[in-house]
A = this chain, B = another copy of it.
């Protein structure tokens, strides 16, 4: 910076609209969610794929319909015309088309995507946000990879501690198409009517019907017949009922979809997760490229818990509308978990997308995308309710090495450094004060601020005798170890490791006990 400009510093100190910094305990919690999800992906043989944050503009063109206007373009600075990626699915399809030798792949990708939407930051709707995708590409026997994707979805939410708090809705594009055909929807109206059905979790049936009949010109009787199907949800008994519906099974699409669904349910049973799934004929999913099974994960207590489009749902919605701007529709990505946050994961089978890039590289795919920002908001709110101090720390440090002494105290800086070194060598996360002569209360305050579980205290006489003191932070008065315990300096790293492990185990036991309690209340 030229000297003459230094004086008139006037920056707009902010991040761009719709973007945010992640720091402190939020960043730590988000990283934990990422690693929980990535661990599940790896357990199922997922391999990482990382693509550039921008793509040639022509790669993204024609993939997102009218949402294409939300794509961020890079300035033309000479050379190629590029845009920031809008999702992770199209770059994956582009990669598959570029690598036609790869005939099967399980890939995962956790990264930011960009949408130049009107941001609603207070509701968590951002222009830069994370997606977390797992997809299986390849030609396999029907429904086997589809079932594994759903198994993965359950593992992710179980490991995030959401047991009993989520619901996986599934449906099948062919069942929907067949059902529309059977009801008498003209071929050219099938996609628009499907879009209308997709709004049933946000609008009452009356409004959806109005859209079908008034806007889209559907016969009222046909609409009502769709409604008679779209209300159905359940498990195997629903499937059996539909398979017994001869009008339906006479339709080739419906029959193929129902057979797929029967196979899927068998496999989900073998995977031990059939009870987590709800077959829901109102689930339609917006994106055009789905060709088979589709699914959406909603949190318990969110809109779909009440009968969709029912009088009850309308009442809830009216109540929500009164409550300022919190309609169920606005509630998308809300930070308020009590009202529900819509879907937290979604996906389906898309067998034709790769072929849009290179017909001869066509490869069928099935996948799921987790909405990490929503998952983060819900998890954070739960932790705050439970006041779980451990989970809200901004660092993971296990020990704070401090020193104290009487008159003529030197600060023992090098001794603190040497002890820290022995802890780091053993892989223990440790910190110390950067002051040459820190006061003891200062050091305790610093340790408390980062929520360190253990203090390691050096005293001149004790150290001369080869001893240091370990003090667990936050013990109550009267606790036998309130004043800490003296241990051999050589044994310090092992002692700290054992104590940290025991403390964690204690917290796990407490967590499990609490979960069992919670289950009892629900039961």
Chain B residues positioned under 8 Å from A421 (CB to CB): 151, 270-272
Known pairs A270-B421, A417-B271; A11 contacts B59 (CB<8 A): yes
Stretch from A136-144, A215-223, A246-254 forming part of the interface with B: A136-144
Complex Cα gap A342–B69 (Å): 44
Q: Mark A409-443, 1 if CB is under 8 A from B, else 0.
A: 00001110110110011011111001110000000
Chain B residues positioned under 8 Å from A52 (CB to CB): 15-16, 19-21, 128
Known pairs A55-B16, A56-B16; A395 contacts B116 (CB<8 A): no
Known pairs A417-B267, A430-B43; A77 contacts B116 (CB<8 A): yes
Tell me whether A478 is interfacial, beta carbon within 8 Å.
Answer: no
Q: A residues within 8 Å of B by Cβ?
A: 1-2, 5-6, 9, 11-17, 19-24, 27-28, 30-31, 42-56, 58-59, 62-63, 72-77, 79-80, 82, 84, 94-95, 97-99, 106-107, 112, 116, 128, 138, 140-141, 144-145, 147-148, 151, 155, 266-267, 270-272, 356-359, 394-397, 413-415, 417-418, 420-421, 424-425, 427-431, 434-436, 450
Closest to A69 in B: B77
Q: List 15 A-B contacts (CB under 8 A).
A: A1-B63, A11-B357, A14-B98, A15-B52, A16-B54, A21-B95, A27-B47, A42-B396, A42-B429, A43-B424, A43-B428, A43-B430, A46-B395, A73-B74, A140-B435
Q: How far apart are A153's CB and chain B's nearest CB, in angstroms?
A: 13
Of B47, B141, B420, B435, the residue contacting A435 (CB under 8 A) is: B141
Of B11, B24, B428, B436, the residue contacting A358 (CB under 8 A) is: B11
Closest to A139 in B: B434
Complex Cα gap A46–B450 (Å): 11
Do residues A9 and B358 form an inter-chain contact, with CB atoms below 8 A? yes
Do residues B16 and A434 form an inter-chain contact, with CB atoms below 8 A? no
Q: How far apart are A76's CB and chain B's nearest CB, in angstroms?
A: 7
Do residues B21 and A50 form an inter-chain contact, with CB atoms below 8 A? yes
Closest to A128 in B: B52
List the number of copies, as a whole number. Answer: 2
Do residues A23 and B55 form an inter-chain contact, with CB atoms below 8 A? no
Do residues B75 and A76 form an inter-chain contact, with CB atoms below 8 A? yes
Could you say which of A45, A80, A155 has the most chain B C-beta atoms within 10 Å of its C-beta? A45
Can you name 16 extra interface pairs (CB under 8 A) apart from A148-B434, A267-B417? A6-B356, A9-B357, A11-B58, A11-B94, A13-B358, A16-B80, A19-B54, A23-B107, A28-B48, A53-B84, A53-B128, A106-B395, A144-B436, A147-B417, A151-B421, A270-B417
Complex Cα gap A358–B6 (Å): 11
Do residues B47 and A395 form an inter-chain contact, with CB atoms below 8 A? yes
Do residues B77 and A74 form an inter-chain contact, with CB atoms below 8 A? no
Complex Cα gap A199–B23 (Å): 38
Closest to A400 in B: B45
Complex Cα gap A43–B429 (Å): 4
Complex Cα gap A98–B20 (Å): 12
Could you say which of A55, A106, A434, A436 has the most chain B C-beta atoms within 10 Å of its C-beta? A434
Q: How far apart are A181's CB and chain B's nearest CB, in angstroms?
A: 20
Chain B residues positioned under 8 Å from A46 (CB to CB): 395
Do residues A14 and B56 form an inter-chain contact, with CB atoms below 8 A? yes
Complex Cα gap A28–B12 (Å): 39
Do residues A45 and B431 form an inter-chain contact, with CB atoms below 8 A? yes
Of B24, B45, B430, the residue contacting A395 (CB under 8 A) is: B45
Closest to A273 in B: B421
Do residues B50 and A22 form an inter-chain contact, with CB atoms below 8 A? yes
Chain B residues positioned under 8 Å from A9 (CB to CB): 356-359
Chain B residues positioned under 8 Å from A62 (CB to CB): 1-2, 5
Complex Cα gap A52–B50 (Å): 18
Chain B residues positioned under 8 Å from A53 (CB to CB): 53, 84, 112, 128
